[in-house]
Chains A and B, each alone.
Chain A
Amino acid sequence: MIETDEALIARITADGSEPAFRELFKRHTPRLLQFVMRILGSAAGEAEDVVQETWLKAAPALKTFRGESSFGTWLCGIGLNTSLEQLRRVSRRSREQSMGEMDLPGRTLRADDRMDLDWAIAKLPPGGRSVLVLHDVEGFTHDEIARLLGIAEGTSKAQLFKARRTMRALLTRQEIEENVQ
């Protein structure tokens, strides 16, 4: 029988059950990792560090989890804040330098549209990227995004507008360049 997230959390908070934590970790880390990678617009290595930090923050806070949202959403909220802290830590310059080492699909690696889209999302400025990922990929509303990011709802809409426009421009430019070649 599969234990619910709530049952696993109860075991972890009761006696620090390692098997229960392992199960929770295995269940939610793949989604968290993909989410963090998109928010950071970076490679798996950096994203895994943020995922580790996220779990280290989430584990002692499990007793505060009230079940008002799903555990996955609650965890992604912590992952989002941790990712934003990471983005603030890393300077724009070092980020651009490391872009060359990332395992993101570039033009020459183009295999399908999904990879192009992930590439374009990664190229967006951090603020717009966060809003676009939350709204267009994860399905959050502007009201929820505003609360999560601590911004006004109007700012969220404005960021989404700019992010969509930039993403479209990036994809169009890429298409044109490919056609020319």
Chain B
Amino acid sequence: MFNDEEIELTDAERAALAALPRERTPSDLLEGRVMNELRSRGILSPALRRNNRVATIALRSAAAILIFFAGALTERFVSDRAAKTETAPTQPVRTAQVELWI
């Protein structure tokens, strides 16, 4: 029954419609409202929290490496000491040697 040819726009109307602004600047508050709401719903992660997460991972990795090397050093120290103890002559053997030299 109806179609848009029945009431065509005039050139002036077309031009006026084409000239209508397509954008409008929102208030400063709108962005903050949206961000806060999305953060509270857990959809967005604040940059700060993400940086903290990265720092925590780095710190844990560093601690793990430190513990590993500390463990390795301790093990080496204990092994060395055990080896020294095994090779060191006992008191009676030493006395016997001294006696031989004399």
A57 CA / B16 CA spacing, docked (Å): 33
Give the distance in Å from the alpha carbon of A142 to the alpha carbon of B2 in the complex: 12
Contact of B45 among A18, A44, A136, A162 (CB under 8 A): A18
The number of inter-chain residue pairs (CB within 8 angstroms) is: 105
- Residues of A with C-beta under 8 A to B41: 56, 60
Q: How far is the CB of B44 from chain A (nearest CB, A)?
A: 5
Q: Name the segment of A2-10, A86-94, A110-118 touching the other chain.
A: A110-118
Among B4, B26, B33, B47, which residue has its beta carbon within 8 angstroms of that of A33? B26
Chain A: how many interface residues by the 8 Å CB criterion?
41
A51 x B16 contact (CB < 8 A): no
Report if A34 contacts B (CB, 8 A): yes
Minimum Cβ distance to chain B for residue A29 (Å) = 5
- Min CB distance, B73 to chain A, in Å? 38
Collect the chain B residues with CB atoms within 8 Å of residue A60's CB.
41, 43
Docked CA distance A44–B29 (Å): 12
